[in-house]
Structure 1
């Protein structure tokens, strides 16, 4: 089942809708659940809510999955360029996208200091790092990678689908140099073969991160989606793959 509520993102002073997935028997049990926080929450569950009329089908998938979760889908800012600003942790300028005034760190500071405590208070969660993950695609995938590096003491798992890492590799490298990754960390990367022009370059980038996480005895998994595109249909096909990896034994 999906519940929705609006919440004020205090550093931005903006109202935003949260899309919360709960197991169908949530209110008939006293069970606690792991939590995945995911960007672009409106695109996760229902086609009617999705920006382009196609969701990840995550609700249908989880209804039939062998493990139960709570998903906190954080809707993005739909105004102008604000999604890019909120889903990027750095100030950058790109030829194709233009100038981005990165507000991603402010957003994640709010998530860990206000949103996560609220979710843990309202719902029956396992609040510890071991059971808490982050995920997203495109700019949301970039933010998931940034989050697992910068906020590793809160999140132990990250699903980074088609992450827009090419926008800020230098900045991410600097972030890595000042971070320590817990060995109990799992990171999933994916790209579709039809969404990038230079797959070899992407694999070099991902290989760099893979080596870094391996250095800390963290686990990473790279999935290349054959004929995969930069869209929800491709990401939907990966639901079982990344959940199996992130939460498998």
Structure 2
């Protein structure tokens, strides 16, 4: 059973969704609202997670910008899995984690390949709107979030995360806006979509040397056309040539698959490493 309460803020109409469960302390808690993007000329649905102690303290929190929000907090229609990010964070908070605000940007299956890639992929006939997408996050979304919530605004407290093509977008966040995003988590990043530019940007040190980068991929995430382990390993080898080893965490897991359950399992490790 779900309870919906409408809240009105100066800039955004918000919906607070609380999903009941057996343990009252484990209720899911997140906001959803729409933001118009002049950069992309579309309206984006945003999912916002606030730490459990947000309403009872005056603390400021780091912020994570997460791609594909439709399966980050809930299981959308047509999916069999979700990442359970809100439940995972609640569990970490109970163990002493200070907490982060998570800003999830819902994607559209028809346009996500365009928005998550910086350059067009001629063979796949898609891509090339990644700069506009990142511009939306930096120039429209982040200022709204920073004005409405108690956020730590500096780059050392601002991370970008994503899985598959969302992981590609997360990498580009580090290169296109290094002054904004100081941390990133790449879950089975689909680097092959713009492979040449990814390695070129990494090799030319367009990721800042003090960035913290988490990466994870499954050993068997490959087929005749795409080799996720090899692509991700090549990227992280390039990064570790100039970024201190303590700032980079990359793992190829034997049992990892290109599926949400795998990214859900690795999410807590990513958060704890970055923050």
What TM-score do the two structures reach when normalised by structure 2?
Answer: 0.81
1:230-249 superposed matches below 5 A: 230-247=258-275
Mapped partners of 1:170, 1:231: distance in 2 = 25
- Alpha-carbon shift at residue 178 of structure 1 (Å): 5.3
Mapped partners of 2:140, 2:90: distance in 1 = 28
The question of 1:155 aligning with 2:181 is answered yes
Q: Which residue of 2 aligns with 1:171?
A: 197
Q: Which residue of 1 aligns with 2:83?
A: 56
Q: Which residue of 1 aligns with 2:119?
A: 90
* Preserved contact between residue 86 and residue 102 of structure 1 (Cα < 8 Å): yes
- Alpha-carbon shift at residue 101 of structure 1 (Å): 3.4
- Alpha-carbon shift at residue 77 of structure 1 (Å): 1.9
Number of paired residues?
Answer: 240
Mean Cα deviation higher: 113-122 or 132-141: 113-122
Mapped partners of 1:238, 1:180: distance in 2 = 26
The question of 1:183 aligning with 2:209 is answered yes
Q: Which residue of 2 aligns with 1:2?
A: 30
Mapped partners of 1:44, 1:51: distance in 2 = 14
Q: What 5-or-longer segments of structure 2 have no aligned partner?
A: 1-28
- What is the CA deviation profile of residues 126-174 of structure 1, one whole-angstrom value per residue up to 9, with x for unaligned ones? 0000100000000001111121122211111110001111122112233
* Preserved contact between residue 88 and residue 104 of structure 1 (Cα < 8 Å): yes
Q: What 5-or-longer segments of structure 1 have no aligned partner?
A: none
Q: Which protein, 1 or 2, shows the higher relative CO under an 8 Å CA cutoff with sep ≥ 6?
A: 1
Distance 1:175 1:30, change over 3 A: same
Aligned-residue RMSD, C-alpha: 2.0
Structure possessing the higher radius of gyration over alpha carbons: 2
* Preserved contact between residue 155 and residue 180 of structure 2 (Cα < 8 Å): yes
Mean Cα deviation higher: 68-77 or 25-34: 25-34
Mapped partners of 1:88, 1:145: distance in 2 = 10
- Alpha-carbon shift at residue 181 of structure 1 (Å): 3.1
What TM-score do the two structures reach when normalised by structure 1?
Answer: 0.89
